[in-house]
Structures are given as C-alpha cells and as structure tokens.
C-alpha cells in the first residue's frame, strides 16, 4: 500500500473544510452521576440526627397501606379478592390494561425483533385478548407465580419497540412490570391461543405466561397473598432454587414460611407441577439479604436500601432483571412494608402528602430542602428519591436514570445514580424547574 503525503497548503484547506463538521460533532459530556464519598450511604447516614428513629410503626404502616388501597385503583388487598366478577367488568379491565394499545386508524411506527410491526400482527395480538369469549359471570381462579415473569400489556411475548436500533431493545413497549416468584395472582381470563392468563396482582393488571403460573385453592393461595410469617428480600435480588428451577426474587419480595428453633427459617417456595402448585420447604438463614419481617421504617434503612441498588442497570418494566425509576423507589419502600403503586404517575397521585412545585428556581429549591429523606420528587415520566442536602447545601437525589440531555444531545446513562437537580431534559429545562410535586408517605 502506498503512503500518501498531503502538502501543508492542502492540509490547511482540508482542516478548514472539516472544521464546521468537527464543531458540530457531539462533544463528550461529563456524566450527571456524582462519585466519591457523596455516593455512599455512610455519607448520608452521617447527615441524619435521628436516622434510627422509627418513622411509622407496623400498625401505622398497615393503616397507610389500607388507605392507599382504598383511594388508589391500581393497588389491591388480595385477601379481599372477590370470588366472582361480572363479565362486563372483566372486559373493561382488559381494555383498560391495554393502555395505549387501542385499535387505531393509522399505524404508529412500531418494531419487533423481526422488523416493522405489521397490521396483521397487530390485529392478531388484539384478537388474542379473546374478549368476545368472556362469559357473563367470571369465576376467579387462584394461581401463584413460580418464577420471575414478565407482566405484559397484551398477550404477546415478543417485544415491541419504538425503533429498530439496539438501544430500543431495552424499552419493550409491551412490558408492564416484572413479577417475583410467589406472587398471588387472580386469574380472570385466558387468551385465545391459551398461552396467557389475564390476572390481577397486588399492584397491576395484565397478561402473564400461563406456564409460569401454578393453580391452587384459595386457602393455599392466601399463604402467598398474606403470609403470617415471612422473610423479606433486602438485597437488590437473590436467587433460590425450588423444583430444580432457579427463582429470582427482587427487593421487597416476601417469602412465606416458619422460623425454626435452630435459628433457620423454613421457607415455603412455589413449584409448578404440570400447572398445579406444589410447595417445597427450603431452610434459609436470615442475613443481610433476607430479613425476617419488614425492615423498620427509618431514615437510615431508607438510605441503606436505596444505595444497595447504586450502579444497577436501568431495567424498563423490570427488563434486564433490574429496576426502572418507579420500581426502584417502590422496592425500597416495599422492603419496609410500605406498598406504593408501580408506575410513577400513579405513585404521584397516591402520595398521602403531596407538595406541588411552582415558582422560581430559588423558590423550588427552598421547597425541596423542606422534604424529608426518602421523599419522592416527581417530574413527567420520572421519579427520584430525595437524600437531603450535601455539605454545600445542594439538594441531592438517588434515582434510576435512563437518559439526560447535554449539549443538545441525548445521553443514555441507564443506571441507579446519585445526582443533583440541574441536569436537563430535551427542551433544555433543568430538573429542578421541571418538578411537578414532592410526595411523602407521612
């Protein structure tokens, strides 16, 4: 191969021609994530004067949960699940759970793993909801999930994405949430192809793969819907094995069983035996990842639990065995027994104490500084957990961040981070100026 040499004048002309392109090229931006001591739980616990004070007793948390069950339509006390539904009610629930996937006059850009989503595929999946065959009276069937499973907005396992690129695969439009093993599910309907069940869960409705459910009687089902004695997962996730199958549990999941005299906990794990539920007893030792009963609701526990997720990948709707912004804060609270809705917009609506955000940037910062540790800061499509102010008086948050904008470009960060409230959205608005409210449970 020959070596080509450009004379000095040609190099000057070439540089002049390329300069506008070089200036327009996306510049490397510093991440919004804060590092070092400020990104440790010890830093924030040291800032608490009463970090070990119990903020709500177990009885008060039960009252709080009952109030949210009564006022928030996405939350349900599964022990009060009716034995029968009117068929028209079930049809309405199926339609409502479809969310934005209503029949449309025009086809939006939507992609699958195989390429562009066709009209034929769209119609097949909508038809598969089998709504026409919902009977006049629906008898509830009781089932328990036996592995971590995806709850879908439609009875379809294949992902639907907003674009054909690789990054889009992390944002499956049909993904509602991930469901732990041992979740009590009320089965209301079966899809036309017999592969999916339309279910009610404690915090969502949607479609679960039928082969990930094991059916049982209501009495046995109640052991999972409202266990009397249980371990709570306090790690971001743990892996157990039952029936020869790995089970992945996420923070806040309850594992029923009984404490033994030798200090071990005899856990009751669900096993799917040809569609029927069988129970396997597995001895477990309570430790830093498994706490008997809920953690006490304190500021220090709130901080500890939030930081256990630090660096975890962003998982839209529980994809990638992880959390998104709303399941992150939900799991932290769930580990202390507080049940809040799954999605950020419903979390904001359900907060017992909510402070609307308005005014100048300075006024907004002043309002944020009045919030307690663990308060939830909401902006459209996102929720963050407040940590307090750092040594310089700057309010800081921990959150599961998908992306941010800087220099006019979108940057994907996709992990749980600590940041301040200056990062911008696509319109150039700083987060502090885009906050809609602060929500607190007490």
Residue range(s) in the chain whose domain bears CATH number 3.90.1720.10 = 36-55+297-440
- Which residue, chain included where needed, has tokens 């097949």? 124
pLDDT by position in tens, the chain (length 442) = 333 333 433 333 333 443 333 333 333 345 899 999 999 999 999 999 999 999 999 999 999 999 999 999 999 999 999 999 999 999 999 999 987 666 554 456 789 988 888 888 888 999 999 999 999 999 999 999 999 999 999 999 999 998 888 899 999 999 999 999 999 999 999 999 999 999 999 999 999 999 999 999 999 999 999 999 999 999 999 999 999 999 999 999 999 999 999 999 999 999 999 999 999 999 999 999 999 999 999 999 999 999 999 999 999 999 999 999 999 999 999 999 999 999 999 999 999 999 999 999 999 999 999 999 999 999 999 999 999 999 999 999 999 999 999 988 999 999 999 999 999 999 999 999 999 999 999 9
DSSP state string for 187-256: EEEE-TTSSEEEEE-SS-EEEEEGGGEEEE-HHHHHHHHS-SSEEEE-SSEEEEEETTEEEEEETT-EEE
Own/partner contacts of 58-66, CB < 8 Å, gap of 24 or more, are: 58/294, 58/337, 61/294, 61/297, 61/336, 61/337, 61/338, 64/338, 64/352, 64/441, 64/442, 65/337, 65/338, 65/339
Superfamily (CATH H level) for 73-219? SH3 Domains (2.30.30.40)
> CATH number of 36-55+297-440: 2.40.30.110, 3.20.20.70, 3.90.1720.10, 3.10.310.30?
3.90.1720.10
Of 298, 300, 302, 261, nearest to 283 by C-alpha is 261
Residue range(s) in the chain whose domain bears CATH number 2.30.30.40 = 73-219
- Euclidean distance between CA atoms 206 and 8, whole angstroms: 67
């Amino acid at each position: 191969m020959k070596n080509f040499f450009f004379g000095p004048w040609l190099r000057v002309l070439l540089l002049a021609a390329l300069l506008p392109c070089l200036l327009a090229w996306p510049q490397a931006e510093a991440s919004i994530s804060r590092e070092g001591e400020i990104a440790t739980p010890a830093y924030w616990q040291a800032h608490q004067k009463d970090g070990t004070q119990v903020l709500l007793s177990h009885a008060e948390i039960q009252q709080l949960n009952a109030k949210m069950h009564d006022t928030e339509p996405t939350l349900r006390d599964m022990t009060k699940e009716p034995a029968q539904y009117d068929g028209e009610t079930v049809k309405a629930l199926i339609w409502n759970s479809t969310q934005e996937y209503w029949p449309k006059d025009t086809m939006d850009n939507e992609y699958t793993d195989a390429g562009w989503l066709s009209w034929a595929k769209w119609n097949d999946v909508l038809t598969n909801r089998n709504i026409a065959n919902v009977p006049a009276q629906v008898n509830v069937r009781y089932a328990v999930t036996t592995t971590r499973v995806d709850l879908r907005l439609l009875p379809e396992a294949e992902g639907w994405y907003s674009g054909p690129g690789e990054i889009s695969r992390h944002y499956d439009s049909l993904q509602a949430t991930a469901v732990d093993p041992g979740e009590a599910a009320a089965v209301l309907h079966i899809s036309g192809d017999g592969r999916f069940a339309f279910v009610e869960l404690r915090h969502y409705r949607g479609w679960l793969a039928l082969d990930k459910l094991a059916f049982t009687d209501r009495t046995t089902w109640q052991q999972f819907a409202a266990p009397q004695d249980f371990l709570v997962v306090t790690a971001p996730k743990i892996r157990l094995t039952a029936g020869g199958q790995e089970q992945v549990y996420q923070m806040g999941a309850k594992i029923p069983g009984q404490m033994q005299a030798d200090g071990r906990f005899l856990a009751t794990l669900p096993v799917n035996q040809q569609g029927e539920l069988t129970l396997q007893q597995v001895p477990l030792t309570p430790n830093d990842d498994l706490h008997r009963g809920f953690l006490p609701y304190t500021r220090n526990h709130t901080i500890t639990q939030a930081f256990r997720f630090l660096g975890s990948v962003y998982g839209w709707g529980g994809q990638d065995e992880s959390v998104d912004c709303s399941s992150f804060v939900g799991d932290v609270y769930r580990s202390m027994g507080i049940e809040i809705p799954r999605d950020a917009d419903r979390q904001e609506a359900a907060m017992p104490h909510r402070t609307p955000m308005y005014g100048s940037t300075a006024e907004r910062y002043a309002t944020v500084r009045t919030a307690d540790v663990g308060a939830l800061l909401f902006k459209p499509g996102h929720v963050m957990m407040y940590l307090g102010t750092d040594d310089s008086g700057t309010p800081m948050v921990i959150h599961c961040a998908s992306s941010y904008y800087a220099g006019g470009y979108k940057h994907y960060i996709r992990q749980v981070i600590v940041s301040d409230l200056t990062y911008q959205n696509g319109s150039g608005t700083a987060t502090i100026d885009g906050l809609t409210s602060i929500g607190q449970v007490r």
